[in-house]
Amino acid sequence: MCYFTSKPYESALKEFFISVAYNIEEWQLGAYFPANIESGFSHKLMAVTTAEKPHTVGTAIWGLVPHWARTSDEAKQIADMTLNAVGEEIFNKPSYKNYVGSNRCLVWVDGFYEWQHLEYKVPGKGSRMRTEKEKRTHFIYMPGQQPFALGGVYSLWERPDNGHIYHTVSIITTAANTLMAEIHNSKQRMPFVVQRDDWEHWLSPLQREEIQAMIRPLPDGILQAHPVMKVNPRDLELYNNPQVKEPYAYPDRGLF
């Protein structure tokens, strides 16, 4: 899964944030920049809101680093694996269990990407048919591309050699709903979307059972999606370029 964040949060967040005490320029986010350009593995900054500062948007490094990471190298290695947290297992995993009770957050995005794996038959040698494979990138978003919140869990990691505190975050995943199962068909998962009416609830103190019950697929009929162009991760022309979320028509190949 691949997320990006961008500037339109400001307007959408007004409803929720009584006093918005953030400087959007400080986010250093790659607006209009699918995460796979910088790659999730570069541990980009995400826009997050926590219960501690419920009326602000801060940043956290994508890839949760638990407190027991001893070195920067170890932290990076762990963060490579903690971009997402499987919601069903989050209370069992050493990396998350200490945080999901107290350190839940909202991760602001205006959409995310998934890749659809397609196969179709084309004429091969002689009378044989051969299977071709294609991957199509899809952009998934709310109506009007309104910003929305994904459920996350965060940790503060103190780097031992210099004492710096790093805010790090994982995005929680859950089973795919119908739309997402069609798109993200190789692994039927989707990010846990926190609906607007649940934003405050998700950040409030909750019992384990309540938390677990909240982490479920978004009902069908809310998210929208369309195919978008493939992105060369090194194509800097696409940095901050809205093209990466505009509809793109893949050639019709008579799929079956």
List residues binding DNA (CB under 7 A). 1-3, 34-36, 39-42, 62-63, 67-68, 78, 80-86, 89-90, 93-96, 112-115, 135, 137, 173, 184, 186-187, 189, 191, 230-234
- Yes or no: say if 145 and 108 are a contact pair by the CB < 8 Å rule: no
DSSP 207-253: -HHHHHHH--PPPTTS-EEEEE----TT-GGGTT-GGGGS---PPP-
Nearest distance from residue 156's CB to DNA, in Å? 14
Question: Which of 140, 152, 123, 144 lies closest to 62, judged by CA?
Answer: 152
Question: Which of 46, 55, 20 lies closest to 152, judged by CA?
Answer: 46
Nearest distance from residue 176's CB to DNA, in Å? 9
Which residue is associated with the tokens 């006093």? 19
Q: Measured from the CB atom, is 83 or 211 closer to DNA?
A: 83
Count other C-beta atoms under 10 Å from residue 69's C-beta.
23
Q: Measured from the CB atom, is 135 or 164 closer to DNA?
A: 135
Q: Measured from the CB atom, is 67 or 196 closer to DNA?
A: 67
Q: Measured from the CB atom, is 94 or 251 closer to DNA?
A: 94
What does the CA dihedral 137, 143, 147, 148 come to, rounded to 10 degrees? -90
- Yes or no: say if 183 and 76 are a contact pair by the CB < 8 Å rule: no
* d(C-alpha 159, C-alpha 17), whole Å: 31
What residues are paired with 106 via a beta bridge? 49, 151
Nearest distance from residue 189's CB to DNA, in Å? 4
Nearest distance from residue 246's CB to DNA, in Å? 16
Nearest distance from residue 3's CB to DNA, in Å? 5
Q: Measured from the CB atom, is 226 or 230 closer to DNA?
A: 230
Nearest distance from residue 185's CB to DNA, in Å? 9
Q: Measured from the CB atom, is 36 or 103 closer to DNA?
A: 36
